Amino acid sequence: MAYGTNVTNDTNLKDKYIIWQPGAPQPPAVAFNRRVDAIKAGYIMAARYPGKQFAVCKIVGSVKPVENVKFDSYSE
C-alpha cells in the first residue's frame, strides 16, 4: 500500500497510525508515519471497497510479552 510500512513484530509502533476496517477478517498490517498518509490510505481503501467504513487510528501504546506482559504508553 502506498505511503505505509508493513508491520512485523519488530516494528516500532510509537507515533504510528493504522487504518482499521471494522468487520475485516484480518487485522491492519500496514503502519503509517504521518497522519496525512494514513488519511490518504483511508481514501484509497474507501474507493476500493465501496460501502465500507475505514477508521484512521493513532497507536497510543503497545502490549508485548517480555518476562511479564508489559504495556508501553506512548502518550503519557
The tens digit of pLDDT for each residue in 44-54 reads: 999 999 999 99
More confident site: 36 or 67: 36
pLDDT of amino acid 1: 44
- Does an H or E element contain 45, and which? helix 35-48
Q: Please count the structural domains in the chain.
A: 1
Residue showing cell 484480518:
26
Question: Which domain range does residue 63 map to?
Answer: 5-73
Contacts of 75 (CB under 8 A, 6+ apart): 60, 61
Mean pLDDT, rounded, for 56-71: 83
Q: How far is CA 53 from CA 19, 56, 67, in A?
A: 10, 10, 38
